[in-house]
Structure 1
């Protein structure tokens, strides 16, 4: 399968055929028009990642209603008949300890880490569209089974979360394989960040709505509703998305030629051979990997544990918890989009080179959130704490135009596989972080949360220093097509 495409297939379609085209078929009014096919792909990927994150985050807020206290780590006022005040009375409630809940929340990442590299490799061989679509469909079906798994026992729920992680693990690497075929270099930041913003907007939606569903319908309906919508969206995915510009039946010849010519230098996608030894020796790749680990620790810590912090330390009820937990992700989604636009502007105007842009946005996205986290334990106002956490998760989105896109800069032929590798290291942080939070706060709540924030800030600072020292913005020699060993 080739990443480059043949312009000979780019013919003008009849007007009637163009009028019947779906979302991705709209012709661009200009090279960078908002109605271009590649912008349509960014929108569809945005919704797909939105759905993926509603599925993975739903348990983080629903577990508050599933357990026999209003939050995992503290308050112990059980309601009559085993239900919480304000929750649907027929929803089952389970007696899970703080450590058990931490294991449940982190079990997703065990599966998620196993299919990252495999998803990148398979999407390079078979295409990003079928790999991503299959992963999202399986994730939706698995989500529908969560209430029944919880009834069977904690072991079944943990196993199902591992399966959910396995299914979702292929989604991000497959997305990068698609963008390697669709995103011109000077538009990568904006297109990929618009798509990635779906992650944080999906998190916002899940945290906001899941609490309301728990109180009005019962926590099982969180999984029924989100899983059902996910299955329906997968049909749209397979109808709207095409693997590359050549295969798209309604793309204009002008846009197809523009995309093809801008990506001609990167050559074909990888085959069965991968230069694993050269990858292992690459300092720029290690710089991305270590930075991803450090920043993902902070992100996953807040993603899975922020509802617990708001309820156990700041004493918000479940409805307030859902609203306040979701607010930082609105800023994060908007930050992704703005960072992408600004990064592409700097590159297009040649204000900074590729490496300088990636390091600048990584520095902003890693240093400032670390400062905010250090300040949180010393702030007496709950409102001020929410503001700082919102700013931290907003500004961390700047890394979307830095380390996150850097894979395609240094090795476009292997972008999906490399994303799978670096994401695997980042997910290790996701495995450790929730469990570490549970252990740190199980003895002393205030001191434990302070240590959680300090560790996250220190890791971010270390990762930033390493990335600035060894990061690169140019295609590596081992990633060039003429360097491949056939």
Structure 2
């Protein structure tokens, strides 16, 4: 008598997730590298991420100009009414912007679930994600100049127009998978499909919501990402304020100094992905590489920020520490931020989108708490702000080190119906 039994297809999945080994004899000799379709997608996503970040940061930059351009007695007129600020006068993220940012970040991992090869995943993802650092550099360097030279509305016109261009490139050149791409070479298509045949589901499966929310590896990603985002928000939003208040640097120089660390971070972010894949090729375990990258992106970066209040008299050291903090933070791109692709390749888009949405809560809390600290006592406010940053960041890192995994979870494995 025939019965239906649900069985897990575990052959190859645990081997991949534990060791990330790729049998090189199956790699075609003529598969293109940098000049390939998959790397082309990485660079398109690189510039799409650049556009997302520039449009977000330009809101911070133009906020002061929008307020100052109105009459002092009627600052809350129709042109500025409803724009949120924290209690210290700094900009705050609107809750409405968070779903868009989380969707843009998580949506791209639906692409990598079907396009990134196991031994190239770190470098492809970091090429794409490093566009955020370059976007921060671009917006901080040019946003203030555009606002002063031709007016704050043109900052939105210019960066919004750039976003439209990259959106058109996305619609024209990005496809769901290699099989549906019209211009990919046959060798590259076969190469990608054969490398991912253990991870890509052949049919639609329901999303295991309960299992996801019970998963400690998933929550370790969320909590660590929250702590790291707390660090990044502080660096991006309050570095200009800190430089200005402590060292009395003028606005033009302030923009240059605020932007320079992100240029360095852009280069290091890409290099971090290549380094992660190099370590994997040297038989490092996948979870070891992910945790090393995450530690490098959290602990030293937050430690450099904590040291800043004790370097008030040393301007050069302050800028150096800020640069090092920003640069080292980018190692998380090849660590915790792509870990969802390891534990659940077929659900990675949902997991990363959800974890980013939760981590963006820091975008609301950081301005509120920092504004409160600085309004109470500017001198000790910076110390309290940076010590809180270190504590939140360290808690998330420890939680990830304890509970983080890289094995494909049981609830993420492909289920096959087998007739007995």
Q: Could you state the TM-score of these two structures normalised by the residue count of structure 2?
A: 0.86
| Stretch deviating more after TM superposition (441-450 or 198-207) | 441-450
* Deviations 1:66-118, CA, capped at 9 Å, x for gaps: 3349xxxxxxxx9xx87xxxxxxxxx8999996367685221xx1244x3xxx
Return the match for 2:289 from 330, 351, 357.
357
* Deviations 1:118-162, CA, capped at 9 Å, x for gaps: xxxxxxxxxxxxxxxxxxxxxxxxxxxxxxxxxxxxxxxxxxxxx
**1:3-402 mapped onto 2 (5 Å cutoff):** 30-31=30-31, 33-68=33-68, 99=86, 104-107=91-94, 110-113=95-98, 115=99, 167-268=100-201, 271=204, 273-350=206-283, 352-379=284-311, 380-402=313-335
Give 1:409's aligned residue.
342
Give the paired residue count: 383
* Deviations 1:405-438, CA, capped at 9 Å, x for gaps: 1000000010000001211221111111122111
- Say if 1:184 and 1:259, in contact at 8 Å, map to a contact too: yes
1:347 and 1:288 map into 2 onto residues whose CA distance is 20
- Say if 1:68 and 1:93, in contact at 8 Å, map to a contact too: no
Q: How far off is 1:33 after superposition?
A: 1.2
SS in 1 for 2:395: helix
SS in 2 for 1:265: coil
- Say if 1:68 and 1:96, in contact at 8 Å, map to a contact too: no
- Say if 1:477 and 1:483, in contact at 8 Å, map to a contact too: no
- Say if 1:61 and 1:322, in contact at 8 Å, map to a contact too: no
2:366 and 2:264 map into 1 onto residues whose CA distance is 23
* Deviations 1:278-324, CA, capped at 9 Å, x for gaps: 11111111111111111111111222222222223322222112111
Give 2:20's aligned residue.
none
Alpha-carbon RMSD? 2.4
Q: Aligned in 2, Cα 1:193/1:97: closer, same or farther, shift over 3 Å?
A: closer
- Say if 2:84 and 2:92, in contact at 8 Å, map to a contact too: no
2:264 and 2:243 map into 1 onto residues whose CA distance is 18
2:307 and 2:258 map into 1 onto residues whose CA distance is 18
* Deviations 1:165-204, CA, capped at 9 Å, x for gaps: xx33311111000010100011010000001010110110
- Say if 1:67 and 1:95, in contact at 8 Å, map to a contact too: no
SS in 2 for 1:273: coil
Structure 2 gaps, min length 5: 1-27, 73-78
Q: Aligned in 2, Cα 1:103/1:260: closer, same or farther, shift over 3 Å?
A: same
Q: Aligned in 2, Cα 1:45/1:98: closer, same or farther, shift over 3 Å?
A: closer
Give 1:438's aligned residue.
371
Q: Could you state the TM-score of these two structures normalised by the residue count of structure 1?
A: 0.74
1:94 and 1:406 map into 2 onto residues whose CA distance is 41
Return the match for 1:448 from 370, 374, 381.
381
SS in 1 for 2:270: helix
1:238 and 1:95 map into 2 onto residues whose CA distance is 33
Structure 1 gaps, min length 5: 1-27, 70-77, 83-91, 116-166
Give 2:352's aligned residue.
419
